[in-house]
Amino acid sequence: MKKKIIVILLVLAATVGVTGVWMYQMFFGPAVENRFTVILREGETYEEMTEKVKSSLLYRWSFDIYAKRINLDRGIEAGKYTFDEGMNVVQVARILKFGSDNSVRLTINNARTPEILAGKIARQIDADSLAVLSALRDKALMKDLGFKSAEAMFSIFLPNTYEVYRNITPEALVRKLKAESDKFWASAKRQEQLERLGLTPYEVMTLASIVHEETNAKEEMARVAGVYVNRLKIDMPLQADPTLKYAAGDFSIKRVLDKHKEIDSPYNTYMYRGLPPTPIAMPDMAAIEGVLNYENHDYLYFCARPEMDGRHNFAKSLAEHNRNAQAYHRALNKMNIR
């Protein structure tokens, strides 16, 4: 009799042990065989959301049990979720419970037009370029933020990397970037720089867009900015070639000619004094800092060097500038650039 009891107990122990191992495996064994990502959208039911996840899982039954235990059915946040190889159902369910990897590091950098900017943004968030462009051109939003055009709103886009939700709406994104811009300009350091310049943040961004298009040499941006500041101070036309390219709608122009200077446009800084009405591009941070920290000098002119190395020769007098310009034009002629 004792032997039978011992055998029964051993069988029960073995059964419990096997069941325990099996149960442990169901909940804590690897349930994700291959890394996968799902997009859960607003308006989808709990069943639709979880089915997207379970279709790539082992041990779906145990997932349902644990999901019920943690009340997952009370709500799953819409967003993008990534599950790594080797995760168990407990880890998967808890990721769904406590939030997605819905955030994205959105990088904003130079763009010449709202269309280009919209395309760059759309590649990084869950919105198409048309929706982003519509927000940039939304007249009610422009008015609310104090702008008259999408081109004017370039002044709020500071080149940087921002942490945003992937499913952020284009309008919410524009408002967020406006808030980031306001924060940037509100610092004591920026206020001191603006006072020294005698320009508003909008005017700085407009001038920086010209500097950005004038030179790729970051080390001379402050000097180029100093030339334009000197011209503004004496009410001398800026005569910035990039504004003529913008007025012509063609940044591929390699040689600015007299015919370009005759374009009747508020962006023609040969024809009209002062800054153009809006930025002509989204400037990079080096150009913005170049304007804010413009070099204090007596130069009124600059011209691309005949070496075509991306740098410029600077001059204090028109006679000196004309000599520099002649050398540059000879180089253009030699290269057959018309």
Could you report the per-residue pLDDT of 172-221, keeping only the tens digit for each?
999 999 999 999 999 999 999 999 999 999 999 999 999 999 998 999 99
DSSP sequence for 194-262: HHHHT--HHHHHHHHHHHHHH-S-GGGHHHHHHHHHHHHHTT-----HHHHHHHHT-TT-SS--HHHHT
Q: Are 83 and 118 in contact (CB under 8 A)?
A: no
- Please identify every stretch of the chain with a pLDDT value under 70, giving residue numbers as ranges: 1-24, 99-102, 338
The confidence score (pLDDT) of residue 17 equals: 44
pTM: 0.72
Phi, psi of 75 (to 5 degrees): 150, 130
Q: Are 133 and 115 in contact (CB under 8 A)?
A: yes
Q: Are 223 and 298 in contact (CB under 8 A)?
A: no
The confidence score (pLDDT) of residue 297 equals: 96
Looking at residue 281, the DSSP 8-state letter turns out to be S
The confidence score (pLDDT) of residue 87 equals: 86
Sketch out the chain's domains with CATH numbers: 21-98 (3.30.1490), 103-186 (no CATH), 188-297 (no CATH)
The confidence score (pLDDT) of residue 127 equals: 87
Per residue in 98-146, pLDDT tens? 766 667 889 998 888 889 999 999 998 888 999 999 999 999 999 999 9
The confidence score (pLDDT) of residue 9 equals: 45
Looking at residue 74, the DSSP 8-state letter turns out to be G
